Amino acid sequence: MSGEIDLVIFDCDGVLIDSEIISAQMLVAELAGLGVTIDLPYVARHFLGRSYPTVMKVIRAEFGVDLPEAFEDQYRQRLLAAFEARLAVMPGAAGVLAGMARPWCVATSSSQARAERSLAIAGLAGLVGARLFTAGMVVNGKPAPDLFLLAAARMGADPARCLVVEDSLNGIRAARSAGMRVWRFTGGSHMGPDLEDEPEDARPELRFASFAGFFQIDSRLGGIGQIGGKT
């Protein structure tokens, strides 16, 4: 791989933790209770990689529904309960984080509270520590580049020398808009056998489906203490 990489920015949901399928199923179920019918492909097309406020704004606009005041708290509580029961770290992700030879951080469209709890449940909180940047830290969420640019600035890195690892098209768009390289992780449970079309503005440099071979893509990124395929 050509070009120096000074910082690797990992998305969280659907990349480090296998949470997107749980979130999508929960959202479909909660909205069904309000008479709004959507399916998992709809969620993938319209909501993957976007913040909760943005998702709710789209739902209000598309379906003309006024969500109850308690909807957000109820959804978040039920989602975290589902995470407690079902959330898993992506196979190999913890080993990759532990073996990184380049500075790295996490930038996610989740809220601070949800991201911290999710990482704790998945056993990654100790590895990530304070290197966590969340949707509430910027005005414009993905696909705007703001969150990735903030992460790079806080980590002291030139955006042109940053690599983003993302699963969603909106995340890829955000990375490219930030002037960063981007790899697409396709190994999450929410990814079907047939990936959606990648428009020109959401086309990654490469795709990979397993963290087991992450350092084989570019050995300069690390490998110290990394055990291929294990968590």
73 carries an active-site annotation: no
Bridge pairing between strands 206-208 and 181-185:
parallel
13 carries an active-site annotation: yes
Residues in the chain: 231
Q: Which of 11, 66, 73, 158 is catalytic?
A: 11
Buried b (16+ CB within 10 A) or exposed e, 181-220: bbbbbbbbebbeeeeeeeeeebebbeebeebbebbeebee
Q: What are residue 55's phi and psi, to 5 degrees?
A: -60, -45
Q: Which of 13, 73, 158, 201 is catalytic?
A: 13
Kindly tell me the sign of the dihedral angle through the C-alpha atoms of 129, 50, 170, 152. Answer: negative
Residues marked active site are found at 11, 13
